[in-house]
Amino acid sequence: MNPESGPADTFESPRQEPRLPPGQVKTDKWPVLHYGSVPRVDLSTWDLQVDGLVEHPQRFDWEAFQQLPRVKVHSDIHCVTRWSRYDNLWEGVSLRELLTRAGVKPEGRFVIAHAEQGFTTNLPLTELLQDDVLLADRHDGEPLTPDHGWPVRLVVPRRYFWKSAKWVRRIELVGRDAPGFWERNGYHNEADPWREERFSDW
């Protein structure tokens, strides 16, 4: 934690009515779901890049990432496989912080998050600028475990959880939206749980 930045700000992800989105079941467990295997990550070679349509491409090694200002976010998780987990406390670095440093060009309107092993997911830039979106390295006071995305995962509380890419390495700004891994494999491009945007129509 960066001693100069003081205590991390905590953001409440806005609650919707009803708190449990349609078709979901509340669970107290935290299931593990992903395609493929849990990557082995070496922190001595790990880095995070912010690039594409930005003025100042950014690259952080692990130490530099740890020095960035920190935020906490309190949110619920809604997975498309119908489980929801309330009251998660995430800690990490705000996407807005990273995107401000990078300076998004006016043409940069969408973001592709790239994870280890080629996994991608796509989101509008406006969503990533929300207060409750972060690159998290801690959950409920503990470092993330490898199966939940250690060292760093994206957390986008207002979308189904597949948009919250685990093992993120690169945030790419692009001009046109393009479907990511699950979005190409039958899942909805927008993924709003309150609208039940589970699967694509095509």
Residue 187 in tokens: 């899942």
* Torsion angle in degrees (nearest 10) through CA of 119, 49, 200, 105: -160
CB of 137 to ligand MTE, least distance (A): 13
CB of 79 to Mo ion, least distance (A): 5
User: Is the distance from CB of 178 to CB of 122 less than 8 angstroms?
Assistant: yes
Question: Which of ligand MTE, Mo ion, none does residue 165 bind to, with CB < 5 to 8 Å depending on kind?
Answer: ligand MTE
Element (H, E) at 126: helix 125-128
Three-class secondary structure of residue 100 per DSSP: helix
Task: Give the Cα separation of 1 and 136 in Å (integer).
Answer: 13
Pick the binder of ligand MTE from 70, 78, 148, 159 (CB under 6 A).
148
Task: Give the Cα separation of 170 and 160 in Å (integer).
Answer: 20
Residues engaged in binding Mo ion (CB under 5 A):
33, 80, 162
By CB under 6 A, the residues from 16 to 45 that bind ligand MTE are 30-35
Question: According to the binding rule CB under 6 A, does residue 83 interact with ligand MTE?
Answer: no
CB of 55 to ligand MTE, least distance (A): 28
User: Is the distance from CB of 88 to CB of 140 less than 8 angstroms?
Assistant: yes
Question: Which of ligand MTE, Mo ion, none does residue 119 bind to, with CB < 5 to 8 Å depending on kind?
Answer: ligand MTE
Residue 175 in tokens: 């001009």
**Pick 104 or 148: Cβ nearer ligand MTE:** 148
Chain residues that interact with ligand MTE, rule: CB under 6 A = 30-35, 79, 115, 119, 148-149, 161-162, 164-167, 182
